[in-house]
Amino acid sequence: MERLCVTITANPPPRLDKALARDVPEAASLSRTRLSKLIAEGAVTRGGEVLTDAKARVAEGDVIEIAVPEAVDYDVLPQDIPLSIVHEDADLIVVDKPAGMVVHPAPGSPSGTLVNALLHHFGGELSGIGGEKRPGIVHRIDKDTSGLLVVAKSDRAHHGLAKQFEKHTARRAYLALVHGVPDLADPRLIGTRGVSTAPGGEISITSGLGRHRTDRQRQAVFFDGQGRHAITHAKPLETFGDPACLTLVECRLETGRTHQIRVHMAHAGHALVGDPVYGGRRKLKESALSAQGFASANAFDRQALHAAELGFVHPATEEEMLFSSPLPQDMAEMLAALRG
């Protein structure tokens, strides 16, 4: 049990949790969420009085004592699952996730996940995230999307990385194969609500994103203040077919919402090849492709989406870090067949 004394400085926020989030030393690595839990658990006192209300008023000069318990074991089974590790240090790990792997255990996927694999890899050597010895997941990619993820190994790293993803300063670039050609001269595309042109041949898609009103497994595009704000930038890199009917696109995220690229590209009329949820009834034009290219793309059985670049500032060293991942074998073979 560690005991931390915090003196409230001048002009404090009006409530306890916000004041502590401001004045707790950064080295303590206690996020506001973690502080709120400690308050609710009765671990925060002022002059011997237990403070359990996060909205309690504080004043300059108040001395707040926080009892921070040792991190407890995380109730998820470690599993010996191979991992492709791109980078690892004392604070974080960057992995290249294969398609087909779920990131976090859930009722439908209690095992075989990235978290199960990481717990085995770390062997219990975690300083604790939110009071538990667990990997700190600050962003996710879909089960059938491949590519790069950064995971925190300490509260300090989790707090610092989460801030960057919240402020949209982390770089995330994806490669996607989509139906059609996102052409800036196409009146249909530019006439689609939320779609605008951007420098360098890009299109930008801006909307709210939220759960579909009738299908709770899907996300949907919303406007007029509904849904969570989302922005995707898409740049065509290469087209396939004669006439062109498929495009390799680089998608950069300003925000990171559930299924964001898949929903936004489908909204723009360019759904991802192989997407079972948002692909609709898009059919490939057999006459426009070689027999090999048509067969490969037509048989692709997941959304053709790969998290190819990931950049952020290291939360401990403040070093700028940028990682890249080559296309996985299935996508690389499909593109080779389309080029052939």
Task: Give catalytic residues, as residue numbers.
Answer: 142
Q: Is there a contact between 36 and 17 (Cβ–Cβ < 8 Å)?
A: yes
Q: What is the dihedral of CA 81, 129, 167, 210, to 10 degrees?
A: 70
DSSP for 53-122, written as a single string: -TT----TT-EEEEEEPPPEEPSS--------EEEE-SSEEEEEEPTT--SS-BTTB-SSSHHHHHHHHH
How big is the CA angle at 275 (ends 269 and 277), to the nearest 5 degrees? Answer: 90
What does the block give as tokens for 9? 């400085």
Query: Residues in the chain, how many?
Result: 340
Q: Is there a contact between 117 and 100 (Cβ–Cβ < 8 Å)?
A: no
